[in-house]
A = this chain, B = another copy of it.
Amino acid sequence: MLRKRSGGEQMRTATDLDCVFKPRSVAVVGASNSVLKWGYIILANIIAGGYDGRLYPVNPKGGSIQGLKAYPDVMDVPDEIDLAIVITPARTTPAVLKRLIQKGVKAAVVVPGGFSEEGAAGAALEEEIAKIARDGELRLVGPNTMGVFGGGRHLTALMPPVAPDPGVISFVSQSGNLGTQLLGMAQSLETGISKFVSSGNEGVLFTEDYIEYFGNDPETKVILAYIEGLDHGRKFLEVAKRVTRKKPLIVFKGGRTRAGSRAASSHTGALAGSSAVYDAAFRQAGAIIASAPDEMFRLARAFASLPLPKGNRVGIITWGGGWGVVTADCCERAGLDVVDLPEDALREIDAIMPPYWSRGNPIDLVAELNREVHRKCFDILAACDNVDAVIVLGIVSTSTIFNLNRRMDAKTREQIELFKGEAEKMDIQFEKHINATAAKYGKPILGATMQRGRQSENLAERSVIYTSPHRAVNVLAGMCEYRRYLDSLEEE
């Protein structure tokens, strides 16, 4: 989605945005029965998402829209309205917003483009609606936005039909396209989202306003931000510094190279040039910089459910040598310390592993099939005083080594089914054990397995199991970075 920032001032009373993300009632202005119009699609998405509030389509024709009574004018709605989704053409929006303010509507999401991203006339129009909103104390999202998501009330006022589960991660994105694609990814990974906003042209409400609100929001545990440019760098820094004392803020910056910033400036006009300056500012504010857009979610899943490591010393346990090697490589490159294990831990493992085990970190389980050996070795590793975090490779899903076979006789099939069922139960028990151990020692424990089949099963337990060792290591490195930042604050 195109966006271009207006030079507008910031709204004074911006920080209470419950009316945007948890509205008790929503009016859809420009609702439509024509399937190929956004006024149809967004209303359909709100209905499909199961919005838990009162919903009022508004269209001059009145009648019935998608099975709901439609009102010719917002003033006709016989109810208070917290949030209006405005999908009428840009030129109509000044009049629409004035009617909303007259009605006492608290917030509006102005979806259409045709504002500052389209040159001088559009910029003037954006100035006009921004002034109307500020004067009328209407909290305005956009214009030129792909919409908002509020998990608590199952509000999916979005252009694409993405509808993640409610969760504790909140996300502001300066690209609607990128933001909603990531929401779709969160949905398919069953990663819960508390709140999302495509901030659009940021005519009134800015990235830092949403971050401040998320910082104060008790339902939000982790904040994500996709940023192309910041108009109020100092304000952003102040807000970020306050927020990162309380909860992690994960950022990804687009427009980091000449080619990327040229692409960004062609539609945002933002001074995206100096990514080194941005990075330094982000770090100074305690934000964690993701290396890819989807890495924001991987980091968020870990921050949402795991204790922070006390330091950067890692223990690795693996079902096979190769992944151990690759993971140790990743750790060292990410600044994590693959520590030597204490001699007494080695001796404990000597007692349960074959004599030729590797006697070191990573602990290689040499394709051992006995889950009890896995569990004991894992426990010994997690208990080590000099281990701050544990990475578990492969052993989270041994049930997949048993496969049914159409050519098997009935008795063998029965046997396999029995074993497979038992193995699956043990897999789930092992996952639960991982979580319990993380809680017991207050240490983060991250898993990696490439067996995608089981990815979305046993959700809660698997929330910190990634599809490659690289990903698990990068996430842990981000957690260590945040821990160091918090420690540095205490030392001040």
User: Whose C-beta in chain B lies nearest to the C-beta of A322?
Assistant: B175
* Cross-chain pairs A/B with CB under 8 angstroms, 27 sampled: A1-B320, A1-B321, A2-B321, A3-B321, A35-B415, A44-B416, A47-B408, A67-B412, A177-B319, A177-B323, A177-B367, A178-B320, A178-B322, A178-B323, A178-B326, A181-B450, A184-B452, A255-B329, A256-B333, A257-B332, A258-B332, A260-B326, A260-B328, A260-B329, A263-B362, A293-B468, A294-B450
A228 contacts B by Cβ under 8 Å: yes
Q: Does A72 contact B (CB under 8 A)?
A: no
Is A94 interfacial (CB-CB < 8 Å)? no
In the complex, the count of this chain's copies comes to: 2
Contact A333-B1, Cβ < 8 Å, known A325-B264, A405-B44: no
Contact across chains for B321 and A161 when beta carbons are under 8 A apart: no
Which of the 9-residue segments A147-155, A279-287, A396-404 touches chain B? Answer: A396-404
Q: Is A174 an interface residue (CB 8 A)?
A: yes
A265 to chain B, nearest CB (A): 9
Q: In the complex, which of the residues A3, A161, A328, A451 has the most CB atoms of chain B within 10 Å of its own CB atom?
A: A328
Whether A360 contacts B160 by the Cβ 8 Å rule is: no
CB-CB nearest 8 A-B residue pairs: A177-B320, A175-B322, A178-B322, A260-B329, A161-B403, A257-B332, A259-B338, A48-B405
Which residues 356-409 of A sit at the B interface, judged by CB distance below 8 A?
Answer: 356, 358-362, 364, 366-367, 369, 394, 400-409
Query: Which of B319, B338, B405 sits near A47, CB closer than 8 Å?
Result: B405
Please, which residues of chain B bring their CB within 8 A of the CB of A356? 2, 117-119, 122
Q: Are A263 and B325 in contact (CB under 8 A)?
A: yes
Proximity bits, A21-42, B CB within 8 Å = 1, else 0: 0000000000001011000010
Q: Which of B67, B181, B261 contacts A394 (CB 8 A)?
A: B181
The answer to whether residues A48 and B407 also contact, given A175-B321, A325-B175, A452-B188 and a CB cut-off of 8 A, is yes
Q: Is the CB of B326 within 8 A of A259?
A: no
User: A14 at interface (Cβ–Cβ under 8 A)?
Assistant: no
Which residues of B are found within 8 Å of A118, using beta-carbon distances? 355-356
Q: Quick check: is A218 within 8 A (CB to CB) of the other chain?
A: no
Q: In the complex, are the beta carbons of A175 and B323 less than 8 A apart? A: yes
Within 8 A of B (CB), among A319-357: 319-326, 328-329, 331-333, 338, 355-356
A441 part of interface (Cβ distance < 8 Å): no
Chain B residues within an 8 Å CB radius of A435: none
Chain B CB within 8 A of A113 CB: yes
Asked if A164 is an interface residue, CB under 8 A from chain B, the answer is no
Is A103 an interface residue, CB under 8 A from the partner?
A: no
